[in-house]
Structure 1
Amino acid sequence: MTLEESARELDRGDEAPDFELPGADGETHALADFADHKALLVTFTCNHCPYAQAKFDTLNRLADDYDNAAVVGINPNDAEEYPDDSFETMQELVDEGTIDYDAYLRDESQDVARAYGAVCTPDPFLFKSTNNGFELAYHGRLDDAHGPDEQPSGEPGFEMAGAIESVLTGVPVDHEFRPSRGCSIKWQ
């Protein structure tokens, strides 16, 4: 298992790269489908990485806690080399309720992950809605628990929850970039 830390590719204020990807729910989802939300949390994640698995419940809770924020997971991993990251396994995780956020999408080509500059799972990007789409408000970790067996110093996802609260109330996110840590994206 190769560990990576997220790196800064997009800067605050940059537009969210567009996407249109198949979802584990059988629907195709595009960036514009989330335009009725004030905030959009896009997290590059996967099925098999213990760091990503440790944040499933956190992402589910964030999706549940904020009606005006959409939470979207995108799995870019090479399922040929890592069969546990297959689309079928994604569907199973959604069907059984393990993943219960707004959408869990498959980035088979890995083009979306590259456009965002994602490097690890999980790698979260928080966007705020604007008249022209979404712009980056914060890119960084969900909380200060770095390992799958660590507990955060506050509620799970507390750092991202604070950033979402800022976006929803129209206040600039004051968090400095705090990299997420997890398994490297499994590039083709």
Structure 2
Amino acid sequence: MTATAFHGALDAPGMVQTESESELERGDRAPDFSLPDVRDDQVALADFADADAVLLVFTCNHCPYAKAKFDTLNDIAADYDDVAVVGVNPNDAEAYPDDSLERMRELVEDGTIQYDAYLRDETGEVARAYGAVCTPDPFLLRNEDGEFTLAYHGRLDDALNPDDEPTSEGGDARDAIDAVLAGDEPEDAFKPSRGCSIKWPDE
């Protein structure tokens, strides 16, 4: 299934376009978390200790920007055995029912989402701890002897709008992942991602 199948109108109710901001710095320790996944299991950052890196992406089910990256993230999860791709949905499911845990579960069960884990941040506390502001908002975490630190924060590729196509075969996130797996620093520490603003539960 292609990402274009999920594109929605950019004037959807409540949708506000925004760009990610840099709050954590490269080398900062990644905030810990323990969140429920689509099977209602609690999943912590420490559970990915066997991975060389974690691509943690604050995302959701309904945003056209997030939908456009479903396949991109699925492909990264499939292509990198040593990298865990973890989606985290922080949106208010009461105001946006399409972002409910049940809908998350449906998207995993039908194969639309094939990340290593898809987690529900019901309070938005974890998204705030990372400084996430939009969906998708990706953070690449390097595993240094069991401690995760930020290696790269920013866009997955240069296709910043839902109907755009990337101009390069790889993409910024893949370049950053390749650098981390090679023991190097990504060329860029931060490149803004673009997406719908996070729909905070308390706003």
- Tell me the TM-score normalised to structure 1 length: 0.97
Answer whether contact 1:127 1:134 (CA < 8 A) is retained: yes
Q: Distance in 1 between matches of 2:42 and 2:79?
A: 24
Which letter does structure 1 place at the counterpart of 2:66?
A: A
- 1:25–1:103 Cα contact (<8 Å) kept: no
- Structure 1: state its 5+ residue gaps: none
- Residue 167 of structure 1 contacts residue 173 of structure 1 at CA under 8 Å; is this kept in 2? yes
The reply on whether 1:179 has 2:192 as its aligned counterpart is yes
Segment of structure 1 superposing worse, 40-49 or 23-32: 23-32
Residue 37 of structure 2 is aligned to residue 23 of structure 1 = yes
> Following the alignment from structure 2 to structure 1, what is the Cα–Cα distance between the partners of residues 181 and 41?
27
* Distance in 2, Cα, partners of 1:68 & 1:25: 23
Query: How many Å separate the matches in 1 of 2:39 and 2:95?
Result: 24
User: Identical aligned pairs, as a percentage?
Assistant: 64
Which amino acid is 1:172 matched to? Answer: E
Task: Give the match for residue 159 of structure 1.
Answer: 172
CA RMSD of aligned residues (A): 1.0
Instruction: Check the 8 A contact 1:76/1:185 in 2, yes or no.
Output: yes
Aligned residues, how many?
A: 187
Structure 1 match to 2:84: 70
Query: Mind listing any 5+ residue stretches in structure 2 that lack a counterpart?
Result: 1-14
SS at match of 1:21: strand
SS for the counterpart of 1:10 is: coil
Q: 1:176 to 1:137 in 2, by over 3 A?
A: closer
How far the C-alpha of 1:178 sits from its partner, in A, is 1.1
| Runs of 4+, deviation exceeding 3 Å | none
* Structure 1 residue 25: Cα displacement: 3.2
Instruction: Report the Cα distance in structure 2 between the residues aligned to 1:41 and 1:150, rounded to whole angstroms.
Output: 22
